[in-house]
Amino acid sequence: MFWKNLHTLFYTLYIPEIYSERGERVRSKSEKIIADKLYRNGIPYKYEKPLVLKGLGKIHPDFEILNKRTRKEYFLEHLGKMDDIGYVKKNMRRINPRYHTICEKITT
């Protein structure tokens, strides 16, 4: 049972307590600014909703945003720590153009 709570434990210990105007806990001031702008402008979004992609597995994009007019979903990843080489390498795998051809959404 402990291993199931590791994500929650990590989140509690290492992520600063920053909350959006909508009341959700976000990981950074930049994500708060994005969440608050979306919220204030009436743009529907989900924060860090799990997404499973072919070729990448389970990921948690920062924001899933819904275009109310077209009903099309968009994903926004902030990439705020580009000065951290480990972070850069991990995220390049997700945005490398060769992955765009195999990253088909299979579940949500």
For residues 90 and 93, give the distance between their C-alpha atoms in angstroms, rounded to a whole number: 6
Q: Which residue has the higher pLDDT, 57 or 29?
A: 29
48 neighbors 59 (Cβ within 8 angstroms)? no
End-to-end CA distance of the chain: 24
For residue 75, the surrounding DSSP H or E stretch is strand 73-76
What domain range is 93 assigned to? 2-107
Q: What is the pTM of this model?
A: 0.68
Q: Give SS3 for 24.
A: coil
Whether 80 shows a pLDDT value over 80: the answer reads no
H or E segment at 94?
helix 85-95
Domain count along the chain: 1
Q: Which residue has the higher pLDDT, 83 or 69?
A: 69
